Amino acid sequence: MNDPSNFYTGLVADLYEPLAGGISDSSRFIKFVEQHGEPALEICCGTGLPLLDLLEAGLDVEGIDASQDMLEICEAKASKRNLRVTLHQAKMQDFKMQRRFRSVYIANGSITLLPSDDDLTKTLRAIIECLDPRGVVLVDLDVPKPDDLRRHIGKFKETQYEGCRIRVGMTQVDWHEKDSELIIKLRYERVSPGGLVESVDRDWFRKVWSVDRFCELLVDSGFHLAEVKHLESGIIQVCARVAT
């Protein structure tokens, strides 16, 4: 199941945010948009992290995601916060926008949901099509290590949410070194106060690019590399402009 729009559905979409780990601080993206200008576009906005915080800060930002279930959750959260949100359902590889954006960003390593170099190239070229000539793109690159992930097999992250006990954990990690592909088997569970158990097992596909390979594809797609910054969280923040 390599299509994120299929992975982030149903129970996975419901439990994604309350169980999410490593979500980037919204202030970093607020500063990025304030520095490089509006309007802004968040690709893979999911349930609204960090999109809704940017809207609450008064910024003009729209969101794209492939999962309708995630977008519906985002819309409901926006309504609860009295925010007006503009959302688009589309895949990263082939989205088209009517506006030009000064700031475009992909947070939290979501770029690694793309299955191949070709899909990354298509995504980068789609960004160029909607990016203002003076605009900047920020991509959070995650480079997970299979051996580190394997240490967490069988360990579940658990919390209480809306009166239920919920948890998620890795049950298997498969690393295909030749193609730099990870398939992580995840189990999501929700247990009601009455003991009713809902569970789903999904394969979470990740494409692992080295920083050098990612930057090479970025430049080959028509960008000029502006900055590569290693954050304390382990995320590599890559910023680029359209090459002229």
Q: What is the pLDDT of residue 19?
A: 93
Output the six-digit token pair for 74.
Answer: 């985002």
Q: Are 212 and 219 in contact (CB under 8 A)?
A: no
Statement to judge: residues 89 and 127 lie in one domain:
yes
| Domain limits for position 164 | 146-207
> Minimal CA–CA distance to 17: which of 40, 51, 41, 54?
51
In 10 A of CB 71, how many CB atoms? 23
On the 0-12 / 13-18 / 19+ scale of CB atoms within 10 A, 155 is exposed
Q: What is the pLDDT of residue 1?
A: 46
- CATH code: domain of residue 188: 2.20.25.110
- CATH code: domain of residue 126: 3.40.50.150
Statement to judge: residues 105 and 138 lie in one domain:
yes
The pLDDT tens digits for 178-211 are 999 999 999 999 999 999 999 999 999 999 999 9
Q: What is the pLDDT of residue 5?
A: 83
Statement to judge: residues 162 and 89 lie in one domain:
no
Q: What are phi and psi of 85, to 5 degrees?
A: -120, 140
Q: What is the pLDDT of residue 202?
A: 96
Q: How many alpha carbons fall within 13 Å on the CB side of residue 38?
A: 12
Statement to judge: residues 193 and 135 lie in one domain:
no
> Minimal CA–CA distance to 132: which of 238, 241, 230?
241
> Minimal CA–CA distance to 88: which of 36, 33, 136, 44?
44
Statement to judge: residues 101 and 190 lie in one domain:
no
Statement to judge: residues 134 and 13 lie in one domain:
yes
Residue written as token pair 């601080």: 25
Statement to judge: residues 125 and 175 lie in one domain:
no
Statement to judge: residues 85 and 186 lie in one domain:
no
On the 0-12 / 13-18 / 19+ scale of CB atoms within 10 A, 228 is middle
| CA–CA dist 193, 188 (Å, integer) | 17
- Under-50 pLDDT residues of the chain: 1
Statement to judge: residues 49 and 159 lie in one domain:
no
Q: What is the pLDDT of residue 20?
A: 83
Q: Check: pTM over 0.85? Answer yes or no.
A: yes
Statement to judge: residues 187 and 217 lie in one domain:
no
| Domain count of the fold of the chain | 2
Statement to judge: residues 75 and 173 lie in one domain:
no
Q: What is the pLDDT of residue 25?
A: 82
Statement to judge: residues 13 and 39 lie in one domain:
yes
